[in-house]
Amino acid sequence: MESLTIPTWAQLVLLLCAVGFILALKGLSGPRTARAGNLVGAGAATVACALPFFYADLDNVVLILVAIAIGTAIGVVGAQRVQMTQMPQLVALFNGVGGGAAALVALLELRTFADLDELGVDLPVAYLVATGFTILVGSVSFSGSVVTFAKLQELMTSRPVVFPGLPIAFGGAFVAALVVAGLIVGQPAVWAGVVLGLLGLAVGVLLVLPVGGADVPIVISLLNAFTGLTVAAGGYVLQNTVLLVAGTLVGASGTFLTLLMAGAMGRSVPNILFGALKGGSTLGAGQASDRPVRSAGPADVAILLAYAERVIVVPGYGLAVAQAQHTLRELVDLLAERGTKVDYAIHPVAGRMPGHMNVLLAEAQVPYEQLIEMDDINAEFKQTDVVLVVGANDVVNPAARTTPSAPIYGMPILDVDQARQVVFMKRSMRPGFAGIENELLFDPRTTLLFGDAKDSMGKLLAALKAL
């Protein structure tokens, strides 16, 4: 509480930083201004964090600078090393450590409050509520993000993890956390803060475990909003306006973005979080079926494509994992040269996160104009000769329309089943991320080309060149 008095000039700089964050979010939401927005945000954050060194009488400056340098180095290496396919889990991890940092800051403030309390200082209830909130929600965000990371990185199963008693354990941990938070408001004590943090970690793990793989990105977005609110509450505790404004902006826009994403998948947020607990929505057996399918070699598929007038490519996460997007672009260019009209149909949640596929194809320098969003292209499938589905499954699964018990039921899908011919390029008969079988694979109009996407795509390209 000692460093709360901020000189007027520094307050004004912080105000500018807060405006910078607003402009950053505004910029990030438009394609032309996104890069500028990101730079403005980074600039504002840097200035805000450098400010205390100029106005506050800080101890331990060298140690603080060393810690910042270590964190910066980790952040730089992480951001540069990451493959674009692994982007969602990296964002989850960055979000988690932010939440953890906020929880630790609040824990240290609680220590100060506890000292003041012993001296008989009367502390405002609102401070203590905000401190408890930050510790609890920051811990939830940290452990929840670590579990989402483990799911996306496939360090653990991406399927919903449900065990008997999970709802009770979750409810118990949550209620216990509220009780301990109440204790803190009554009388601030560090031990209670530590217990609250541990309970928060348990709540975070139990919250994310039952979420199925395909829904994990929504949860990342939700936890991102949580961390934002945590930072806002921490800002109030520290009586720092820029923390409050920045945290609230992220909390509000993150919540809104979460709802937008859930809407794009035709899901509701409560259903995503608690659907698996109710049972029923975890239909997916996750096993490969041995029903007969029609498979073909690259030469047959090449002929099919060569005689088509209208082709639509549906790229999925499997394409990016195999790093086949560059070969795919060559194939599409070759078809276009031969007079075939080819476009890419982009499902809003293609890849692992909304907009993820656009990033992956942009990396392969696919022209922006060829990427057609779902709502604009769905009507065209009826007049399409061949649809080439590469490493996608759930986003073209008609079960979303027909099977109410399927976990993806209600999700808008690409109407691939209306095309004259469908070619699936798949590694195996294993179901997609949502873990459910795709009836379309067994349709008589469907042909399967088995193999690694990059390998098959190369062979297909060679076969088409030879025609």
Partner 1 sequence: MSNDITWLTFFVLSVFVGIEVISKVSSTLHTPLMSGANAIHGVILLGAVLVAGEADGFALVVALVAIVLAAVNMVGGFLVTGRMLQMFTRKPAARKGAER
Q: Whole-number minimum distance, CB 448 to partner 1, in Å?
A: 29
Bridge-based pairing of strands 446-450 and 421-426 is parallel
Nearer to partner 1, 306 or 371 (CB): 371
SS (H, E, C) 139-193: HHHHHHHHHHHHHHCCCCCCCCCCCCCHHHHHHHHHHHHHHHHHHHHHCCCHHHH
Of the candidates 338, 330, 346, the one whose C-alpha atom is nearest the C-alpha of residue 310 is 338
Residue number, 29 or 383, with CB nearest to partner 1? 29
Rounded CA-CA distance 385/421 in Å is: 6
**Which residue's CB is nearer to partner 1, number 47 or number 306?**
47
Distance separating alpha carbons of residues 187 and 130, to the nearest angstrom:
14
Q: What span, in angstroms and rounded, lies between the C-alpha atoms of 196 and 271?
A: 27
Judged by beta carbon, residue 61 or residue 467, the one nearer partner 1 is 61
Ordered strands of the 371-373 beta sheet = 371-373, 341-346, 310-315, 386-390, 421-426, 446-450
CB of 421 vs partner 1, minimal distance in Å: 28
Nearest distance, CB of residue 57 and partner 1, angstroms: 8
Q: For residue 67, what are its two tokens?
A: 């810690």
Contact yes or no for 267/174 (Cβ under 8 A):
no
The residue among 190 and 293 lying less far from partner 1, judged by its C-beta, is 190
What's the min distance (Å) between Cβ of 4 and partner 1? 9
Nearest in space to 372 (alpha carbons), one of 414, 409, 337, 331: 414
Sign of the dihedral through C-alpha 264, 270, 276, 279: negative
Residue in 343, 394, 415, 417 annotated catalytic: 394
Q: Least distance from C-beta 62 to partner 1, angstroms?
A: 11
394 is catalytic: yes
Please identify every residue annotated as catalytic. Answer: 394
